[in-house]
Amino acid sequence: DYGSPGSPGGLVGDCYGGHAFWDAEQMIWPNLLMFHPNIAKDVLQYRFHLREAAGINAARAGKAGLKFPWESAVSGYEVSPWGPAAREIHVSGDVSLAFWRYWQASGGMQWLHEVAWPVLRGVATYFASEVVTTSVGNLAIRDVVDVDESAGQVDNSAYTNAVAKLALTHAVKAASLLLRSQDIGANWTRIAKALPIPFSHEKKLHLEHESDSDGTGLGVIMLQYPLDLPMEPSESNRHVRRNDLIYYASKQVSSSAMYWWTVAVAWLELGEIDLAAKIVDRMSQNVRGPFYAWSEGSGPWGCSNFITGAGGYLQIFWAGYAGVRLTDEALLFRMPRIPPDTSSLTLRGLTYRGSRLDVRITPATISLKIQSASTHAPALFVTHNTLSSWVPLSPVLEKSFPVEGVVQVATADQMSVGLTKMK
């Protein structure tokens, strides 16, 4: 048995044919991961079950590894009627990232070995086979469809290259954890480091692809969240992040509910609360009717029950305002804050490593306690970036910290590397 990752239109009507796209892994599924991990685990079985078809997709394209289809149904083969869809290959990176995120949240080594590893290795193998060396010795992935589909087929899409870099990096990490380093490509680490993310030194911002573009920039903004693409925490990079947001958000006129959620989360990470609040208000225009269903657009077009929009909107609150991030070493709360015109923000049942947490954020403090824990859940400990010690989380007493800074939750095994990794 295996679940379904969900379609952008949910179970109502025939929007997008009920098929699965990248919406599932990037907009909808993360909410299940953080609050309903058992459902999230079942959903991943859909991609795992169809990995043989993904292998055939890659072979038909003359590549190795696993190539998941842009538009997927029951077979796992490409079912999109749109010809260029076969080159919207970032979806394989989106799938790989979801499998790695589940491991970060659960820590399940048996699952990593039996379920995640074949997918992580297969997608990394595929992206490695897509990389070519240019005449001047640089690496490139060519002729892909970017997140901004209107750009046509381009070279070195920022988003596609970013998920490829992450897929290769995570496969190498998984191989190390599973003592299977002999089963990875000798050049994977080099490719992950050298594959470029296009950048304009003149404008001091990232480009959608190798050629300067005037597109939506959605893929560029998603480098900040949900990809959390590693960047040095310096003021210069904060400046670049801000430039990316200002440049692309100012050019975006679409009312699509798919776009604005990641902009809001990115603004919140930079501390721009007022700018994020305007986006939250803007997105509310896509909520319609007596049942408050999400519409794909603010006008009469697109899905009338757009689960993608609802999923992105929810992430604004736990990833944006609460600052929740998963890393290999811990669960983080980065500069948590409350939404405007509220007195507190509560996350009930936020799940990490088998324990469900209740998290309460006020203007001054963030408080955490364990709501419940599975039978074999490891003990959890918590600290703040201003402290040098950890305290155990319990179901009895809340542990409170100032909202300024970063709160970190980890197991005993993770604590040895915890404080040095905090940003």
Helix (H) or strand (E) holding 58: helix 51-60
Q: How far apart are CA 155 and CA 135, in angstroms?
A: 14
ω into residue 226 within 30 of 0, thus cis?
A: yes
Residues in the chain: 423
* Structure tokens given for 134: 């240019």
Reading phi first (left if > 0) and then psi (alpha if -120 to 50, else beta), residue 232 is in beta
Name the catalytic one among 149, 210, 272, 398: 149
Q: What angle do CA 288, 294, 300 make, to 5 degrees?
A: 60
Sign of CA dihedral 391, 393, 397, 402: positive
User: Residue 361 carries which DSSP code?
Assistant: E
Q: How far apart are CA 188 and CA 104, in angstroms?
A: 21
Specify whether 149 is catalytic: yes
Paired with 391 in beta bridges are: 382
Closest CA to 370 of 388, 350, 387, 346: 350
Sign of CA dihedral 90, 299, 276, 350: negative
Sign of CA dihedral 180, 183, 184, 186: positive
**Residue given tokens 């820590």 in the structure block:** 107
Radius of gyration of the chain (CA): 21
Q: How far apart are CA 52 and CA 58, in angstroms?
A: 10
Q: Which amino acid is at 99?
A: F
Please identify every residue annotated as catalytic: 149
